[in-house]
């Protein structure tokens, strides 16, 4: 029990935590409301027209598998933050974040069952599994293991530095760089017109749009917390050092030209890396510069729409 009797009412409606919590409630969506019928048809049609359809299909399956596994990992690993934070407004927000990560996991699991398996059945391919080791690489495993460790450390040592490292791993690097670069790449690839050599998958596209709205709040919360920590005396160098230590793993995941499943379609690795670097530099400035504000909720939830830049 942790009732703060210096508060006249329970919640601080002006706080970022409660405002973001309310925004999450108001923008609630259900993964099962996304219509996947057009994706099922378009994917089968597309695979029937390309050469070496099964290996071509691997590029897309790898993307969906990595997103699904990533969303599962962040669902599993956020809980220590809810325990370590002791402000009710912050905790209100974290409850929405865990729930949203679970919905993202739900969406990708459903996509595999309903769209990918359907295409495999129609084309006579063996049904594949999103948990197969072949979709992942060492950098992917290492990055998520480090994230889990950074989050678990909050339980033993909830110091400002431990919080800063946790937000750097989880919110800045995994959500802010890896995931947002991935959404950008996937949405560019499977949108209506950008890459005519790939199928247009409106359900996949819509899922990414909804997930990005949620992720805008998640990244915004992490950035605001980092800004508070810096204002309270955490050395900004710690943020740079933490991010720089783990960035090489991201570069081997999001846009690895040596990845055997990455085909020469969709945005190029160079374009993806440039996108990630630009976004990151901008965010670090907003965190470290006392005069710069964290973007407001509307722009955060619209962060990085395809073609915004
Ligand atoms: Fe997510
Ligand atoms: Fe997230």
| Residue 179 DSSP class | I
Residues 286 and 227 sit within 8 Å (Cβ to Cβ): yes
Give which of 92, 276, 291 is closest to 174, Cα–Cα.
276
Give the integer Cα–Cα distance in Å for 75 and 19. Answer: 22
pLDDT in tens, 123-178: 999 999 999 999 999 999 999 999 999 999 999 999 999 999 999 999 999 998 89
- pLDDT value for 308: 40
pLDDT higher for 63 or 263?
63
CA of 264 relative to ligand 2 center, distance in Å: 29
pLDDT higher for 29 or 280?
29
Q: For residue 197, give both structure tokens.
A: 């050599």
CA of 219 relative to ligand 1 center, distance in Å: 10
CA of 176 relative to ligand 2 center, distance in Å: 9
Q: What's CA 245's distance to the chain center, in Å?
A: 19
Mean pLDDT lowest for which of 67-71, 87-91, 190-194, 253-257?
253-257
CA of 179 relative to ligand 1 center, distance in Å: 8
CA of 213 relative to ligand 2 center, distance in Å: 10
Which ligand places an atom closest to the C-alpha of 73? 1
* The CATH fold of domain 39-301: Ribonucleotide Reductase, subunit A (1.10.620)
pLDDT in tens, 259-289: 555 555 567 777 777 877 887 888 888 898 8
CA of 16 relative to ligand 1 center, distance in Å: 19
CA of 102 relative to ligand 1 center, distance in Å: 8
Look up the pTM and report it: 0.92
Give the integer Cα–Cα distance in Å for 125 and 94. Answer: 41
CA of 71 relative to ligand 1 center, distance in Å: 5
Residues 172 and 244 sit within 8 Å (Cβ to Cβ): no
- pLDDT value for 307: 38
The alpha helices in the chain, defined as continuous H runs, are 16-26, 37-49, 53-77, 79-84, 88-111, 117-123, 138-156, 160-167, 180-190, 202-231, 236-251, 269-288, 297-301
């Amino acid at each position: 029990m942790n009732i703060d009797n210096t508060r006249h009412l329970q919640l601080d409606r002006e706080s970022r935590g409660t405002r973001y919590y309310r925004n999450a409630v108001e923008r609630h969506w259900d993964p099962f409301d996304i219509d996947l019928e057009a994706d099922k048809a378009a994917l089968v049609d597309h695979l029937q027209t390309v050469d070496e359809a099964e290996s071509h299909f691997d590029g897309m399956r790898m993307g969906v598998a990595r997103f699904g596994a990533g969303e599962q990992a962040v669902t599993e690993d956020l809980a220590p933050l809810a325990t370590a934070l002791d402000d009710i407004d912050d905790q209100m927000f974290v409850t929405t974040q865990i729930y949203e990560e679970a919905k993202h996991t739900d969406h990708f699991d459903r996509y595999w069952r309903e769209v990918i398996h359907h295409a495999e059945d129609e084309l006579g391919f063996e049904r594949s599994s999103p948990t197969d080791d072949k979709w992942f690489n060492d950098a992917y495993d290492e990055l998520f293991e480090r994230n889990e460790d950074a989050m678990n450390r909050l339980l033993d040592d909830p110091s400002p530095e431990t919080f800063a490292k946790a937000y750097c791993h989880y919110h800045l690097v995994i959500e802010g760089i890896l995931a947002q670069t991935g959404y950008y790449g996937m949405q560019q690839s499977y949108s209506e017109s950008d890459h005519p050599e790939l199928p247009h998958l409106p359900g996949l596209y819509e899922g990414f749009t909804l997930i990005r709205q949620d992720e805008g709040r998640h990244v915004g919360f992490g950035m605001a917390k980092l800004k508070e920590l810096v204002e309270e005396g955490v050395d900004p160098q710690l943020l740079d050092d933490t991010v720089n230590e783990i960035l090489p793993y991201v570069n081997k995941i999001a846009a690895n030209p040596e990845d055997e499943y990455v085909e020469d379609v969709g945005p190029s690795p160079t374009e993806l890396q440039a996108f990630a670097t630009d976004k990151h530099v901008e965010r670090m400035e907003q965190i470290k510069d006392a005069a710069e504000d964290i973007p407001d909720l509307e722009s955060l939830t619209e962060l990085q729409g395809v073609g915004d830049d």
